Amino acid sequence: MKWRLAAAITGAASALAVTGLAIAQSSWVTVTHADVQICRPIFKEAHRLEQELLLDQIDQGCARGASTYDADFCGATRDFLKATRAMDDVDWFMLGNETCSDSSAYPCFGPSVYNQPRTGRDAQRAIAQFREEASQQAKVTADMDFVDAAAEGDRCISQAWVATYDAAAGGAAGKLQANNQTPPASSGGKSSGGNKQPRGGAKSPEAPAPAPSSPSGRGVSVAAQADVDACIDGKSTQQKCASLLDRLQPGDPAYVDVALSLMAGEIDAGRPVAAIGYGDIIASQRSGADAELVRCTVRVLAKWDLNAGLMSCNAAGVEDDTRVMELRGQIHLLAGRWSEGWKDFDAAYNAAGEMQPLFLRGLSAAALGRTRDAQRDMDEAEENAPGTTKAFADLGYSLAAVKTGKPLAPPEAFGPGGSGTPADPAAPAPSAPPAPAPPAAAARVGVVKFAPDAPRGQVAPLTAGRVTECDAALRAIESESQGWKGTPEEIALRSGMIQRTLFAGRCAGHAQAASLFADGERTIAISAASAASAFTDAADTTPAQIDCVEPMIPTDPRNTTGTTALRNSCNFAVYVAYCNVSPAKGSWAEMFSCTMRSALALDVIPASGATPAVFGREVQHFACRKPAMPVLTYVAGKGLDGFCK
């Protein structure tokens, strides 16, 4: 059952993936930049050998007066060398090359052969070839030239593709579908290169290849593998699986499997926000359309934050993708927009001829009162894929449900505005209603009074209004982050910092605060190392910080929050980072200690507004005019030092 959830995330398939019922053909999976980061050392060596090849060609053929001299060739080769030197190793290999011949010194390589959609026997042959290729360890040795090294890069891509395919199709089941046998073992030795389609034909293997390892060089231990299996099989607790995920690295083979298991557990437990948190961790390992499709998919699976899910599907930018059509149709169906849903399901069915969108098209027709069309579509889907009707009914997509004429999801499942009205991607994120005037006690219920160095303890539950405000703030973060500048790692780091600040601060009384705080911590841990070394373009930065933010104590007459706070006197919104100097051990303030790496609090303060903050004895803060955000380090004796980006 869990592997069908993996299929939904990896291939961005429909919500039916959680049922454990195979209704449609599985989509051909693709590998992205995030999937092949583990291949960076291989790509780096291949990139170096490519540049050596180009230099040799220039040395041998570009001496003026030589019989082989060709000015156009030499100029083009020099320009090509300059361009390739400027490229990141992973970007270069993923760009690939597909114009070559068997006799060429410049080989074909790259992801296109793996990402090319295939069906039927062609797919079976390709999968078997990729498995054979992936069974050998990818390694560039000193005796290899560029042709050999490029083939090793392809081999590493094949390993990433097989891992992605197994996650989507289910390990053993996928192997049987591919070639009805276990993958061959490895012989090691020099690669045969090869420019045929599929590329990289491997020699007959003799010994099993080692399991892929994480970027840290650590594979999954035998003990850890047992824990992974228990999580995937549903034989472990959410707490143990969350602890296991904390110990894994994003590149570990089991990382996504454990995150998927945690996501499924949160969905089963009726905690959609926490489920989305785990789904978005998986999305952070992908980029572009793949990441947006995952974000949309997890929201359909959780039936929550659906306006943001619709925005992600639209942002994927692949209008003719059947996955986008079907996911978007399901959101329309949940919202009671029957006509819009019918159009998306009709387009998806006509494009691929699969049974899931056909059944859902029938369900939409039933909601529209077109009984004959509805019965025909639903009967055909059930006939060709027995069990379809029950599987969808178990998910809440039933004939009885749509005949009530009501949306299949409540208004709060759609985010700000509710009622299923899609958010306008071009419009600013809705803001929370203005806080009531002080000093009404009801306005402060649930706000944690962060007295200097007060010990952490149980927080009183928030009122319903404050819970709604916190949920809206979380959705606003997710929406705004799609427009932030910077690398994916920087964006993930900032998002995690704001989420952690929110649920350790003014939203600490939220019923899911501990889980959401942990999600923020996990996102920070995943992205901090890469974000810290990310390249920053000076054109995107300014050294000036905003000086209109000041700390306020609870007794300050301007402070209406009921606790320590930061006040923004500017007539524009700001992003502010802060940390506590020498906080008492075990206190609230210690959560944002200046001396802890990546422990800064990060928040947004509206124009001429204030936000509760977690202060100790002494606080350091740094603010930037929104949308610029702080990029900081803490220097003892000096304070927060950095710039706005």
Q: Which of 164, 179, 194 is the last residue of a domain?
A: 179
Pick the closest to residue 109 from 151, 167, 65 (CA basis): 151
The pLDDT of residue 376 is: 93
Quick: pLDDT tens for 82-130: 888 888 999 999 988 877 655 567 888 999 888 887 766 567 778 878 8
Low-confidence ranges of the chain (pLDDT < 70): 1-27, 63-68, 100-104, 119-122, 169-224, 251, 253, 317-320, 416-449, 451-452, 458, 529-543, 597-598
Residue 590 counted as domain residue: yes
Q: How buried is 218 (Cβ within 10 angstroms: 0-12 exposed, 13-18 middle, 19+ buried)?
A: middle
Residue 63 counted as domain residue: yes
Strands (E) in 146-263, as ranges, are none
212: number of Cβ within 10 Å: 20
The pLDDT of residue 379 is: 92
Residue 196 counted as domain residue: no
Compute φ and ψ for 439, nearest 5 degrees. -105, 35
Please list the alpha-helical segments (H only) found in 538-596.
Answer: none
In sequence order, what DSSP letters do the residues of 492-541 get, joined into one string? HHHHHHHHHHHHHTTTTTSTTHHHHHHHHHHHHHHHHHHHHT----GGG-
In our burial notation (b when 16+ CB lie closer than 10 A, e otherwise), range 16-45 reads bbbbebbbbebbbbbbbbbbbbbbbebbbb
Residue 88 counted as domain residue: yes
The pLDDT of residue 492 is: 82
What's the angle, vertex CA 315, arms to CA 314 and CA 321, rounded to 5? 60
Residue 235 counted as domain residue: no
The pLDDT of residue 594 is: 86
Residue 563 counted as domain residue: yes
Strands (E) in 35-168, as ranges, are none
Q: Which domain holds residue 539?
A: 441-644
The pLDDT of residue 532 is: 57
Quick: pLDDT tens for 7-38: 444 443 333 333 322 222 335 788 888 888 88
Q: Name the average pLDDT for the chain.
A: 74
| CA atoms of 304 and 325, how far apart (whole Å) | 18
- Alpha carbon of 543 to those of 363, 622, 633, 638, 641: distances in Å? 57, 11, 13, 16, 10
Strand partners, 160: none
CA-only gyration radius of the chain, Å: 27
- Contact between 230 and 250 under an 8 Å Cβ cutoff? The reply is no
| CA atoms of 613 and 217, how far apart (whole Å) | 39
* Residue 97 DSSP label: B
- Residue that is written with structure tokens 């959680």 in the block: 18
What's the angle, vertex CA 387, arms to CA 386 and CA 388, rounded to 5? 95
* Residue 173 DSSP label: H
- Contact between 378 and 362 under an 8 Å Cβ cutoff? The reply is yes
The pLDDT of residue 247 is: 80
Counted domains in the chain: 2
Q: Which of 179, 212, 235 is the last residue of a domain?
A: 179
| CA atoms of 579 and 636, how far apart (whole Å) | 12
The encoded tokens of residue 583 equal 């906080």
Q: Which of 156, 179, 202 is the last residue of a domain?
A: 179
| CA atoms of 637 and 8, how far apart (whole Å) | 51
Residue 449 counted as domain residue: yes
Residue 11 counted as domain residue: no
pTM metric for this prediction: 0.41
- Alpha carbon of 163 to those of 53, 160, 513: distances in Å? 32, 5, 34
